[in-house]
Amino acid sequence: MSIVKEIAAAVEAGKSKQVGGLVEQALAEGIEPNVILNEGMIQAMGVVGEKFKNNEIFVPEMLIAARAMKKGVEILTPYLAKQGVEPIGKVILGTVAGDLHDIGKNLVGMMIEGAGFKVLDLGVDVPPEKFIEVMKANPDCKVVALSALLTSTMPAITSTVKAIEEAGLRNTVKIMIGGAPVTQAFADEIKVDGYSEDAASAAELAKKLYGVA
Ligand code: B1M
C-alpha cells in the first residue's frame, strides 16, 4: 500500500498517532503536502462522511476520525502555507446566542475543514453582533453556518439572519443552518440558502454553496 493510502486508512480508522507519524514520513519521502491532504486525508474524511450517512459508523467514530485528520493537518499546515496551497474558502461557524451545545457544531466544523475549507469557529452562545464583526473582518468569507440545538434558540437563528440583513451583508454570504430541531421547512421559512441534517452533508452543502461541489 502506498504511504498516502496508509494515511487515508489511518484517518478513516481514527489512528491519530499513526497519522502523525505517517504524514511526517510522507513529507520526508518528498510527497507533496497537497497530495497528502487531498488524496490522503480529505478523501478519507469523504469516506467517513458517507459511512456516517449510511449509519455504518456513528458519532464517536466520526469524532475520532476527525481528530486524526486534525492531527495530520496540524503537521501539514506549515508545509501547505509554504507550498501556497489555499483553502477552498472560509466558513464562519457558530452556535447561536443562548445555546451552549457544541458537540454537533464541532463535528460540522471538522467535516467542513476536512472538505478543504478554513473554518472560523466562533464557539457557542454567539450573539449576532459577533457574526457581523467577523464577517466584516473577513470579507472573503462566503458562507456563514449557524447551529442550534434547542427549540428555544431557533429564533436566535432568525434574529442572526435579520441582523446580517440589517448590516447590509446578506448579499455577501450564503447562510446554512442545522441542528437537531432545525428542519428544511424552517430554513425555507426564514429564507436561508441551505439546511443540512448532519455533519457529512453540511460539508457537502458548504461546497455546493461555494460552487465547488
Ligand atoms: Co442539552 N438538550 N440542554 N445539553 N442536550 C438536548 C439538545 C435535548 C434534546 C435533550 C432532551 O431534552 N431530550 C434538549 C432540547 C429540547 C429542545 O429544545 N427541543 C436539551 C435541553 C433541554 C438542554 C437544557 C435546556 C437542559 C437544562 O439545563 N434544563 C440545557 C440548555 C443549555 C443551553 O444551551 N443554554 C442543556 C445543556 C446540555 C449540556 C451542556 C449538559 C450538554 C451539551 C454539552 C456540549 O455540547 N458541549 C447537553 C447535551 C450533551 C445534550 C444531548 C444529550 C446531546 C446533544 C449532542 O451533542 N448530540 C441532547 C439530546 C440528544 O440530542 N440526544 C440535548 C450529538 C451531536 C453529534 O448531535 O448536536 O444533533 P447534534 O448535531 C448533529 C446534527 O444536529 C447536525 O450535525 C451534527 C452531527 O451530525 N448539526 C448541524 C448540528 N449543527 C449543525 C449545523 C449545520 C448543519 C448540521 O449547519 C450549520
213/202 Cα distance (integer angstroms): 12
pTM over 0.85: yes
Among 44, 60, 83, the domain-final residue is: 83
What is the CATH classification number for the domain harbouring 46?
A: 1.10.1240.10
Model confidence at 82: pLDDT above 80: no
Answer yes or no: do 124 and 194 share one domain: yes
Are 78 and 96 members of one domain?
Answer: no
**How high is the pLDDT of residue 103?**
84
Tell me: do 180 and 154 sit in the same domain: yes
Domain count, the chain: 2
129, 161: one domain? yes
Amino acid at position 50, single letter: E
The more confident residue out of 73 and 153 is 153
One domain, residues 105 and 173: yes
Q: Is the CB of 205 under 6 A from ligand 1?
A: no
Q: Report the C-alpha gap between 72 and 15 in whole angstroms.
A: 10
Question: Is 160 touching ligand 1 by the criterion CB < 6 Å?
Answer: no
pLDDT tens-place string over residues 105-151? 988 998 898 889 999 999 999 999 999 999 999 999 999 999 999 99
Last-in-domain residue among 34, 55, 83: 83
Q: What is the pLDDT of residues 23-80, one digit of tens each?
A: 999 999 999 988 998 899 988 988 998 999 899 999 899 899 989 998 998 898 888 7
Residues 128 and 203 in one domain: yes
Confidence at residue 47, expressed as pLDDT on a 0 to 100 scale: 92
Substitution site in 101, 102, 157 for ligand 1 pocket (most atoms within 8 Å of beta carbon): 101
Is the domain of 7 the same as that of 54?
yes
Single residue among 63, 83, 103 that ends a domain in this structure? 83
pLDDT attached to residue 13: 96
Q: Which three cell numbers stand for residue 72?
A: 495530520
Residues 165 and 133 in one domain: yes
Q: Which domain holds residue 75?
A: 3-83
Residue 78 pLDDT = 84
- Rounded to 5 degrees, what angle do the CA atoms 98, 202, 131 make? 40
What pLDDT score was predicted for residue 37? 87
104, 194: one domain: yes
Looking at the fold, whether 76 and 121 belong to one and the same domain comes out as: no
Q: Which of 2-16, 77-91, 112-126, 181-195 has the lowest mean pLDDT?
A: 77-91
207 CB under 6 A from ligand 1? Answer: no
CB of 99 within 6 A of ligand 1: the answer is: yes
Q: Is the CB of 182 under 6 A from ligand 1?
A: no
Burial 18-46 (b: 16+ CB within 10 A, else e): bbbebbeebbeeebbbbebbebbbbbbbb
pLDDT (average), residues 186-203: 95
CATH number, domain of 194, equals 3.40.50.280
108 alpha carbon – ligand 1 mean position (Å): 14
Same domain, 45 and 103: no
